[in-house]
Structure 1
Amino acid sequence: MATAQYGTRTRTVEETVVVLTLTEDEADALEALVLGESGAVMERIYWALRQTEPPAPAADTFEYDGVVYDLNAKYTDCDGDVWSFTGRLSHDGIPRVSFTGYGDNAGTIVDIAKAYGPLTKVTP
Structure 2
Amino acid sequence: MSVFEVGDDVISVAGDRYIIEGGPFSGYVPWYAARAEDGVVHLIGQSALRPVEISVGDRVTWDGREYTVEAGPFQSSADSAPWYVVGWSGGHNTLTGHQLRRASAYSAASSSVETAETFEFRGVEYEIGARYCDSDGDVFVFKSELSGPHTRDGNNDRTPLGSEFRYLTEDCDEQWIWSLGEVVRMYGPLTKV
TM-score (norm 1): 0.57
Aligned mate of 1:32, from 59, 62, 81: 81
The structure with the greater share of residues assigned to helix is: 1
CA RMSD across the alignment: 3.4
Aligned mate of 1:78, from 105, 120, 135: 135
SS at match of 2:181: helix
Is the Cα–Cα contact under 8 Å of residues 96 and 108 in structure 1 kept in the other structure?
yes
- Could you tell me the percent identity over the aligned residues? 32
Residue 80 of structure 1 and its aligned partner are, at CA, apart by 0.8
Is the Cα–Cα contact under 8 Å of residues 27 and 49 in structure 1 kept in the other structure?
no
TM-score (norm 2): 0.39
Give the direction of change, closer, same or farther, for the CA distance of 1:74–1:88 in structure 2 (3 Å limit).
same
For residues 1-124 of structure 1, the aligned pairs below 5 Å read 21-22=68-69, 26=72, 32-33=81-82, 45-46=95-96, 49-51=99-101, 54-91=111-148, 93-102=158-167, 103-104=174-175, 106-122=177-193
Give structure 2 stretches of 5+ with no counterpart.
1-66, 84-93, 104-110, 149-156, 168-173
Is the Cα–Cα contact under 8 Å of residues 146 and 159 in structure 2 kept in the other structure?
yes
Which whole-Å deviations, capped at 9, do the CAs of 1:67-120 have from their partners, x for residues lacking one?
111113110001111100133112264211111132526221111000000100
Distance 2:81 2:175 in 1: 28
Give structure 1 stretches of 5+ with no counterpart.
1-19, 35-43
| Aligned length in residues | 93
SS at match of 1:26: strand
Once superposed, which parts of structure 1, at least 4 consecutive aligned residues long, lie more than 6 Å away? Answer: none
The structure with the greater share of residues assigned to strand is: 2
SS at match of 1:63: strand
- Structure scoring higher RCO (CA < 8 A, sep ≥ 6) equals 1
